Amino acid sequence: MEKIQFPIVKTKIKGITQKFDLSDPKERESYFELKAGKEIKKLRDYLKEKTFIAYLLGKKNSGKGTYAKMFREIVDKDRIEHFSLGDAVRQLDLVIRDEEKKKELILFLEKNYRGYLSPEQIISTLKKRSTTSLLSSELVLTLTKMEIAKRGKKAFFIDGFPRSLDQVSYSLFFRELVDYREDPDVFILINVPKAVIDERIKWRRVCPKCQTSRNLKLLPTSKVGYDEKNKEFYLICDNPSCKGERMISKEGDKLGNELIKERLEMDEKLMRKAFSLYGIPKILLRNCIPVEKAAECVDDYEITPEYDYKWLPENSEVKTIEKLWQVSDDEGTTSYSLLAAPVAISLIKQMVKVLNL
């Protein structure tokens, strides 16, 4: 994104040659202790008495939930919550079909909602809404308060709010509305090149049985097959309960960014709007690093690998070829895409600064 300067946070430690498998939880824990142990301790001490509210802003498929969940995993699972407004809205479809849960929702709305629709009208609207229509800002605010009320006074990463330009202004006062008067709030802006999002969509594969999602190019399963008739490679779900289901692409995924073009444009406008605000600190996370700066700033195992495949007919097997994934960022710079862990390191270090620890 032009005009917003996303910093390159150095995670490489001079003289340390140890490598970590960042897909392994135990090795990932050791990795974070080595590279951000002091900062993690400061955050844990802070969370014993205080909290924060962090609003995650980034384009669709930029990894907002991934970074927040990793921060929670490493820093404090008991005192940090990740709340996805999208998940909460999807759950409403189940709530309004359950009479008891619907009554609870109506009672909460009667007590907490301020807007132009009655609770009964809201329920009726929810029943008729399509997946592409946005809820009113007043209702979104109330639903967010409801989710926070369920979980108690903890630190929150809120994913999906603000979702429209007017909701950016709402977020300025949200901390006071949910009784977090003494604790800070922060915008977290995530910059992921459109080329990265495009590849994540185009090569996404889903198990038709268990709905596990992987990526043929960037995150394969342990088993890869080859369709000789169609001359194409495919992933085989390695979830034990699926018994080797062939993973498939979702309808429209081949279109990549074209599928969500308007959403990407709105997400970028939201980030610019949030960045322009005074009085609320910002954490700026970047997914990519220029190739020319990578060697001094990150270790190779922190870079996203790319996978290609070769069919060996003589052995009837697929050979997997791995290399560092190079992409062109939005300014045309040849870059490496980073794995989630080094981006989470940047989040941890910047959060310490924002909280003045």
Per-residue confidence of the chain (357 residues) as pLDDT tens digits? 557 889 999 999 988 889 999 988 899 999 999 999 999 999 999 999 999 989 899 888 888 989 999 999 999 999 999 988 777 777 777 777 777 877 887 888 777 777 777 877 777 777 776 655 567 777 777 777 887 777 778 898 988 776 777 677 766 666 665 665 577 889 999 999 999 999 999 999 999 988 888 999 999 998 999 999 999 999 999 888 887 889 999 888 999 999 889 888 888 888 888 888 888 899 999 999 999 999 999 999 999 999 999 999 988 899 999 999 999 998 899 999 999 999 999 999 999 999 999
Percent helix, percent strand, percent coil in the chain, to nearest 5: 45, 20, 35
Pairing mode, strands 185-191 and 282-286: parallel
Identify the pLDDT of residue 188.
93
Query: Interior CA angle at 50 toward 40 and 10, to 5°?
Result: 25
Tell me if 222 sits within 8 A of 244, measured CB to CB: no
Other CB atoms within 10 Å distance of the CB of residue 224: 19
Q: What ranges make up the beta strands (E) of the chain? A: 53-58, 80-84, 155-159, 185-191, 204-206, 213-215, 223-227, 232-236, 282-286, 288-290, 305-312, 317-324, 326-328, 334-337
Identify the pLDDT of residue 352.
96
CA 299 from centre of chain: 22
Q: Which residues of 202-222 are buried (b: 16+ CB within 10 A; e: fewer)?
A: bbbbbbeeeebebbbbbbbbe
- pLDDT tens digits, residue range 201-242? 999 999 998 888 899 999 999 899 999 999 999 999 988 888
Tell me if 1 sits within 8 A of 268, measured CB to CB: yes
Tell me if 19 sits within 8 A of 301, measured CB to CB: yes
Identify the pLDDT of residue 355.
95
Q: Which residues of 272-286 are buried (b: 16+ CB within 10 A; e: fewer)?
A: bbbeeeeeebbbbbb
Which long-range contacts link 30-36 to residues 24+ away (Cβ below 8 Å)? 31/341, 32/74, 32/341, 32/344, 32/345, 32/348, 35/11, 35/345, 36/345, 36/348, 36/349
Identify the pLDDT of residue 114.
75
> Which two structure tokens, joined as six digits, stand for 85?
């407004």
Tell me if 165 sits within 8 A of 42, measured CB to CB: no
> Which two structure tokens, joined as six digits, stand for 94?
């189940």
> Which two structure tokens, joined as six digits, stand for 337?
């895409």
Q: Which of 300, 91, 268 is nearest to 197 (CA)?
A: 268
> Which two structure tokens, joined as six digits, stand for 275?
């960045």
- pLDDT tens digits, residue range 55-77? 899 888 888 989 999 999 999 99
Could you tell me the residue ranges of all domains in the chain? Answer: 25-79+154-354, 85-153
Identify the pLDDT of residue 276.
86
Structure-token match 């946005």, residue found? 134
CA 150 from centre of chain: 22
What CATH code would you report for 25-79+154-354? 3.40.50
pTM of model > 0.75: yes
Tell me if 281 sits within 8 A of 184, measured CB to CB: yes
